[in-house]
Structure 1
């Protein structure tokens, strides 16, 4: 039985992962810990095979006043946890990074795409990766996950905002775009496979299908019995708008499918089913 410690006791991903691993009670023992105070420093990590570091700052508006918090939490705290894990004999450290490390707002990300984060969130995640990479060794394997937008029942962020729009508005732009996304159960199964295989390296898990935003909104509306009409009337204007939020919703941003080392082995739920499970 593998013992796994999740840092980020009350995080959406941490809670979801613990629930998913509950399907394998004889194979994994899961504990979680909050990093909001210093009590975690007194916990003995030596009894764990894996530390999955989820704790971090996300989904808050960046300002000059809070910029330092990203580096304090997403970088410095992450590195401190990784150091403790290594010093106390943990064999595998999994770090939840982000697609934001590429700093790309539209297009295709492949294995040759440069790392040029623009936000404090993306910069702090990349700097954490660099610090943690420096302490990796033969007895301390490190896996970095750079998932696209994560969604699922109870999630926060852009998916929830779109879902709320789908329920409230009568009309929505019909744009033929493509987005990489990953359903929470698919991500959880991916992490399980990483642990099972004791893998290290960079990983970019995503759903098997790219997502078209208007189709997703249409499916969400249908789940709630809401009539929403799709129109191409606004498409020309949307292309002219340079606001980041508009680009995030209607632009193309995908991972090249060749970047998936696991070849969809972790896909336990297709896109249509995942929307039903998220919205039911």
Structure 2
């Protein structure tokens, strides 16, 4: 028993001696070191860096999304093949000028069509007394016309759809595009350009904007599907290009006339006889064109 007590006392003294041997005045580095080369748990250590940026539900970080958005913008489709994210009044105005030019050209072409199609007689297609003729036609209408069904119920809804899609491409919603189509078909065409040749039509006033809005939205959706398919229809790029043109002729023609070279285009109505061009007036006179002091023309200036 005494031997056990003596052995325990000696062991306690040894431990106390080692404890008091600790130099309390020395500085010891207690900082945590994450150096994998000296860490005793080096087998569990990794030098890999982690991106702790907020994650989206689709698994992409904001930096990756920004990169994708930048790439999408750099490969963005031309304006006439996409719908603006917001209302673009400038683009709508440019397309309206294009519609003006196309309408004047359409009237010019219609003067060469048979009277059985246009229902315009030779007196209606003459430029003599143009102002008084417009006033008489407007005051007499609207009336139920006797035009061909193809013109009233196929072509007018189509052109109403053309007006509609012009506004939709400029970023306007369905109702706003319908209002634009109604304004253009009623005041610009029916009581405007066409009223120089015939009395405004009841069918056209209703069919063009209302049927045109339905046709126009279908045209727009088909156009977007074709562009999403790489511009192909049934595997054909040619058929796709032709389809896209007829689905949005105003946008394509506007692009060809202006954006193709990226310079400025100026469109103006001219009321001076033969644009005040003496040579043009003399040429018309020599060709048998009777002189008239009433003149309206479309002047287009392309600046390269």
Q: TM tier, shorter chain?
A: under 0.3
Higher strand share: 1
Larger Rg: 2
TM-score of the superposed pair, with normalisation by structure 2? 0.25
TM-score of the superposed pair, with normalisation by structure 1? 0.26
Higher helix share: 2
